[in-house]
Amino acid sequence: MSRYFLFIVLLIQLSVGSLFGQILTVKSSFEKDSIMLGEQINFILSVESQKDAQLVLPVFMDTLTPEIEILHVNEIDTSFLDNRQFLRQEYLITSFSPGWNTIPPLPVAFKTGEVSDTMYSTAALLTVLAPVVDTTQAIKDIKPPLNTPLSLAEVLPLALLGWGGFLLLTLLAALVWIRFQKENNPEQFNVKPLEAAHIIAFRELDKLKEEDLPSKGMIKEYYSQLTEIIRIYIARQYAIHAMESTSSEILEAFTIQNPHENELSDRLEELLLLADLVKFAKEAPSNKENELHLANARDFVEKTYRLFLPDESENVQEEDIESRELEVESVKVDKENG
> What pLDDT, on a 0 to 100 scale, did the predictor assign at position 254?
82
DSSP state of 192: P
At 38, phi and psi to the nearest 5? Answer: 85, -5
> What pLDDT, on a 0 to 100 scale, did the predictor assign at position 95?
92
Tell me how long the chain is.
Answer: 338
Q: Give the chain's domains with CATH numbers.
A: 23-129 (2.60.40.10), 197-331 (no CATH)
Q: Tell me whether strands 107-112 and 84-95 are parallel, antiparallel or unpaired.
A: unpaired
Give the start-end residues of each E strand in the chain. 24-30, 34-36, 40-50, 54-56, 63-65, 68-73, 77-81, 84-95, 99-103, 107-112, 115-120, 124-129
Please give the chain's pLDDT, 338 residues, in tens: 445 544 443 444 434 444 445 678 898 999 999 999 989 999 999 999 888 888 888 888 899 888 999 999 999 898 888 888 899 999 999 999 898 988 899 899 888 878 888 888 888 999 999 888 777 777 778 878 877 777 888 888 888 889 999 999 999 998 888 888 777 776 665 656 678 888 888 898 899 888 888 888 888 888 888 888 888 888 888 888 878 888 888 888 888 887 777 787 887 887 787 777 777 767 677 788 888 888 888 888 888 888 877 654 444 344 455 555 555 455 455 545 55
**DSSP alpha helices (H): ranges in 185-286?**
197-211, 219-238, 247-257, 262-280
> What pLDDT, on a 0 to 100 scale, did the predictor assign at position 88?
92
Tell me the three state secondary structure of residue 163. helix
For the stretch 169-207, what's the b/e string if a residue is b when 16 or more beta carbons lie within 10 angstroms of its beta carbon?
eeeeeeeeeeeeeeeeeeeeeeeeeeeebbebbbebbee
At 181, phi and psi to the nearest 5? Answer: -65, -35
Contact 3, 98 (CB under 8 A): no
DSSP state of 33: S
